[in-house]
Structure 1
C-alpha cells in the first residue's frame, strides 16, 4: 500500500491530466492518448507546455475522461464538452474545423 492509499484526502488533491488526440477525418473520434494523476499528471502537463499544446482546465471532464483507457475513443457523454474544447483549440490556432 502506498502512502497516498492510506490518505484518501491527499489523492483527491493530486493533479489529474488527460491528453486527447484526434485526426482531421470527419468520421474520426477524439481518443485519450495519455492519462495520469499526481506526478504523471505533472509530466503530461510539462510535455504539453514544452510542445506548445493548449491546455484547458475542466476538473469534471478530466474526471470523466480519466475512467477511459488510453487509446480508446471518448464516450458519448463527453462529446459536447470535448467538442467545445476542440472548437476552442481551433480558434486559438485560427484553423477552421473540418
Structure 2
C-alpha cells in the first residue's frame, strides 16, 4: 500500500545586504530547504524584516554569493529598501506599518527586454 505524505514545496531564501557607499546590494546568503529555513531563522532572531516573493527569490537565486544584484533588479530592490525605511519610521513613531510593495512581477516589460 502506498503511503500518502504531505510534502511542502522546497522553500528558498535569499538575504541581501546593502552598505552605504556601495553601488548596489549584495547577495550575502541563499539556499533551499534547511539552509533557507536557517536564513529565515537568523533574520528573525536579529529582527530583520522578511519579504516573501517567490518570483524575486527565484531571480536572486541566480546571483552568485557576495555579488551585487544585477541592474535589472535595482528598481524592485529600491522599492523594498524604501518599504523597510518606512517600516522603521512607522515603528519609531507608532504609526501603522505600510503595506509591502507588490513584487509578484519584479521585472517590468522594459526590464525583461534589456
Normalising by the residue count of structure 1, what TM-score does the alignment of the two structures yield?
0.79
* Residue of structure 1 aligned with 2:17, choices 15, 21, 26: 21
User: Which has more helix, going by share of residues?
Assistant: 1
Unaligned runs of 5+ in 2: 1-6, 91-114
Paired positions, count: 84
Task: Map 1:30-49; keep pairs closer than 5 Å.
Answer: 30-49=25-44
Unaligned runs of 5+ in 1: 1-9
* Residue of structure 2 aligned with 1:68, choices 60, 63, 72: 63
Aligned to 2:77: 82
**4+ long deviations beyond 4 Å:** none
Larger radius of gyration: 2
Q: Considering only aligned residues, what root-mean-square deviation do their CA atoms show, in Å?
A: 1.8
Q: Is the 2:16–2:25 contact (alpha carbons within 8 Å) kept by the matching residues of 1? A: yes
